Amino acid sequence: MSASTRGFSSSASASSAMILEEVDDLIGAESGWVEAKTSCDHLHTLSFDLYHIPHIDTPCNICQHTRENWICLICKDILCSRFVNKHMFNHYQETGHCLALSYSDLSVWCFNCDAYLDAEFITQLRPIHESAYLFKFGVRPPIRGTISQVREPDRS
């Protein structure tokens, strides 16, 4: 008797997990993102104030290149990409500052994780994503992530 109860509950949770996966797939397919991590062990190094950041047109601190730069999320230096003079990458090697946001496409990269991070999902990254989005598009980003908030277990 207990065996059949256990069988029932595990199959129920498996099917709800499948639904969650389908939702994730839909979101991923729609936005066309490269797979981004939703967690990172280095977020404690972030600057505590990521709302106030240099403007998106700020030139690279070192070579004065003006377009598609990166912002270091630890010290807020503006540095150029690996396709220009690699000053962001050099900065990471010199300082160990591993988190940066691209002013080109607003993606967040962690050099230590060697991966993109989901800036809309990770709470600590939302301020920088919002500020950069505001610079780029002139409006606040649409709120994503409401799906998981609505999906609270019904305990009435």
Residue 129 touches Zn ion, criterion: CB under 5 A = no
Residue 74 touches Zn ion, criterion: CB under 5 A = yes
User: For residues 10 and 93, which CB has a smaller minimum distance to Zn ion in the complex?
Assistant: 93
List all residues 6 or more positions away from 74 whose beta carbon is below 8 Å from its beta carbon. 45, 46, 47, 95, 97, 98, 99
- Using the structure block, give the residue that is written with the tokens 């010199």: 94
Q: Least distance (Å) from Zn ion to the CB of residue 100? A: 8
Structural element, H or E, at residue 71: strand 70-72
- Token pair in block for residue 79: 């540095």
| Residue list 39-68, contact with Zn ion (CB under 5 A) | 40, 42, 60, 62-63, 65
Taking the C-alpha atoms of residue 61 and residue 71, their distance in angstroms, rounded to an integer, is: 10
Residue 73 touches Zn ion, criterion: CB under 5 A = no
Q: How many residues bind Zn ion (CB under 5 A)?
A: 17
| Binding site residues, Zn ion, CB under 5 A | 40, 42, 60, 62-63, 65, 72, 74-75, 77, 80, 85, 87, 97, 110, 112-113
